[in-house]
Copies of this chain bind each other. A is one copy, B any other.
Amino acid sequence: MQNFDYQTPTRLIFGKGVIAKLPNVMAQFGKKILLTYGSGSIKKIGIYQKVYDLLKGYEIIELPDIQPNPKYDPSVLDGVRLCKEHKIDVILAVGGGSVLDCSKAIAAGACYDGDPWDLISYKVKAKAALPIVDIITLAATGSEYDCGGVISRTETNDKIGYIDRHLYPVVSFLDPTYTFTVNKKQTAAGIADAMNHVMEQYFVEDATLLNDGFCESMFRSLMENGRKCLENPEDYTARAEMMLACTYGCNGILALGNSPSGWPCHGIEHALSAYYDITHGWGLAIITPRWMKHILNERTLPRFVKYGINVFGIDKNLDKWEIANKAIDETYKFFESIGIPMHLRDLGIDGSRVGEMAHHIAVNEGLDQAYAPLTEKDIAEIITTSL
């Protein structure tokens, strides 16, 4: 078991109607709020108006139009500028993981005099950040309970995950009813994203019995409740459990003391998104089973056997290789069953830039240090079999 230093100070306020506590929470900061959001769905479902109704007396500056795979330019740069210009006290992020990830970069950038990219690229370590409160409308990324974010810079094909302990949200509001209107595509992408977060922590060298059990519970819960959410989008219990499960995805609690895994599927998917701006969860779902097939060998076999038996209930008396291969097939079939197109070509990605992407990933993502180390050639093969 590895040593670790762990803290997640975020307060989770969870359940139907909890937004009523927003004024009480915001009262601890100053009066100037940067309200960040995405394409405007928060207006359709009434949260936007609710926020204004609840926060009378505050000065609210808006940063709308934050895109999926949130962009450094214009979103992060605009946000930082607004924070400095208006001397913002606190950021209120309303939306999914992209809005929150972008808001985290803004929060750090607002307290830094130089180019915010210095922080995202770890050239400079953040010394402070504005406080962040969020209201989550999509169960997926776990950004509401971690201190990381992912920012894309189109002109350099960079999609960078950055982590800084100043970036834990102070409070995350999680009302499952806000996810009732999330469509099937985004719901499925959220399930796949969260499933992959767990896989990235489950496939490691020396997991504890405890962490394995936590991860296996996550898989089973995400699959069962994910299916229910797709069947009946207003199934409160299923939406609630899925929302809670997603919060545990990235803050480390599923892997305390485990060896690092290298998060290989995220490493690969980040390049796909950076080059083609695809839906993150879909990209992960497509890559995952191909990555699994690629890394299955004598050494990794026991992990796949455990995964197959405990997650999919595959008969433990079968041949070990059969269990492992069945487990990978079941993974593929699950993603397919929730409506995810399982080939990159379905998302408009052809083979023309595979070499370029594989090189970019090999240089930037450190996957030669992953649980199952990946060379540039390995990465190219995984992408190619995913086409």
Q: Which residues of A contact B (CB under 8 A)?
A: 1-18, 21, 176, 208-210, 212-214, 216-218, 220-221, 224-225, 236-237, 240-241, 244-245, 253, 256-257
Give A220 Cβ to nearest chain B Cβ, in Å.
Answer: 6
Identify 8 residue pairs between A and B in the complex whose beta-carbon atoms are under 8 Å apart, listed by A's number. A4-B12, A4-B14, A6-B14, A12-B256, A208-B241, A210-B217, A213-B214, A240-B257
User: A173 vs B45: C-alpha distance in the bound complex, in angstroms?
Assistant: 45
Report the bound CA distance from A153 to B11 in whole Å: 33
A217-B212 contact in complex given A3-B14, A244-B256, C-beta closer than 8 Å: yes
- Give CA–CA (A55, B257) in the complex, Å: 27
User: Which residue on chain B has the smallest CB distance to residue A165?
Assistant: B11
How many copies of the shown chain assemble into the complex?
Answer: 2
Q: Is the CB of B244 within 8 A of A210?
A: yes
Q: A213-B217, A236-B1 are in contact. Are A12 and B18 (CB under 8 A)?
A: no
Evaluate contact between B7 and A12: CB separation under 8 angstroms: yes
- Contact of A4 with B9 at beta-carbon distance under 8 Å, contacts A213-B216, A214-B213 already known: no
C-alpha spacing A84/B208, complex, angstroms:
44
Determine the distance from Cα of A1 to Cα of B256 in the docked complex, in whole angstroms: 27
- Cβ contacts under 8 Å, A9 to chain B: 7, 9
Q: Which of A6, A13, A209, A212 has the most CB of B within 10 A?
A: A209
Contacts of A3 in B (CB 8 A): 14-18
Minimum CB–CB distance from A315 to chain B (whole Å) comes to 14
Closest B residue by C-beta to A217: B213
Are B1 and A6 in touch, CB under 8 angstroms?
no
* C-alpha gap A3/B17 in the complex (Å): 9
Taking A9-B7, A11-B7 as contacts, is the C-beta distance between A1 and B209 under 8 angstroms?
Answer: no
Known: A15-B257, A213-B214. 10 other contacts (CB 8 A): A1-B236, A4-B12, A5-B12, A5-B14, A7-B11, A209-B217, A209-B224, A213-B218, A213-B220, A244-B256
* A28 CB, nearest partner CB in chain B, Å: 13
Give chain B nearest CB distance to A215 CB in angstroms.
9
Min CB–CB distance A172 → chain B (angstroms): 10
Contacts of A241 in B (CB 8 A): 1, 208-210, 257
- B210 and A14 contacting across the interface, CB-CB below 8 Å: no
Which of A8, A18, A225 has most B Cβ within 10 Å? A8
Structural contact, B210 and A1, CB atoms closer than 8 A: no
- Say yes or no: A221 contacts B240, CB within 8 Å: no
A10 CA to B8 CA in the complex, in Å? 8
Give bound CA distance, A6 to B15, whole Å.
Answer: 11
Closest beta carbon of chain B to A363's beta carbon, Å: 32
Q: Are B245 and A210 in contact (CB under 8 A)?
A: yes
